[in-house]
Structure 1
Amino acid sequence: MRTSAEIGKLIKQLRKENNINLTDFATKIGVNKSTLSRYENGSRKIPMEDIAEIANALNVTPESLLLKNKQPETEVQHRAAHLEAELTDDEWQRVLDYADYIRSKRK
């Protein structure tokens, strides 16, 4: 589990990568600017309900913010990782074929 300071640093990094300023992000997650600043500098522990809001706003999973061995994961990546048990081999092949098709159109 990450410390409050580590979580705050990661939140700040992800917020900046998404080009969201402190004021706008605070509004988006429903806290005031000074509270968000304290979250980011690690001087205030972040309640779990705010972790969920922050993760949602950054389009990552709460686990990726909290766990040290987990890189920030988008919701799409999270869903894709859990599809393995739900799809047959034939369905997986169709997914892979479609992914190849999409990549070929980018070139």
Structure 2
Amino acid sequence: MFSQNLKYLRNKHNMEQIDLAHKLGRKSASSISEWEKGKYTPKMQTLVEIASIFNVNIDDLMGEDLSSDKESKPKNSFETIAAHLDGDLTEEEWQEILDYAEYVKSKRNK
């Protein structure tokens, strides 16, 4: 779902792949192309940056069809926390946070 959402959001904002690459501090659009093809998924810090650029909820970016006409959800507390911790956590620590969030979510849905 991420690859489709990325391409949708980029086009919705009239942004070329190279424009997004530059916003993410990259010199070329090759990573953006690979992500949109579904070959790779960026690291957590980059996902947070992408969600921020397009002002979308990171959970929606990863798992919802953003091209549908649903209203956007407000930013969640995870994005608020991520904005304050940006750069202070390792990729493994981000993954621990995501794993714990999934655990809490799964308990809530039971």
| Shorter-chain TM-score range | 0.5 to 0.7
Name the counterpart of 1:15.
10
Question: Structure 1-normalised TM-score?
Answer: 0.58
- Between the two proteins, what is the percent identity of the paired residues? 26
Gaps of 5+ in 2: 78-110
Letter in 2 for 1:16: N
Selected match of 1:62 from 58, 64, 69: 58
Structure whose CA Rg is larger: 1
Preserved contact between residue 29 and residue 53 of structure 1 (Cα < 8 Å): yes
Name the counterpart of 2:19.
24
RMSD of aligned residue pairs (Cα, Å) = 2.6
Q: Which has the higher contact order (CA 8 A, sep 6+)?
A: 2
Aligned length: 73
Question: Structure 2-normalised TM-score?
Answer: 0.56
Preserved contact between residue 5 and residue 65 of structure 2 (Cα < 8 Å): no
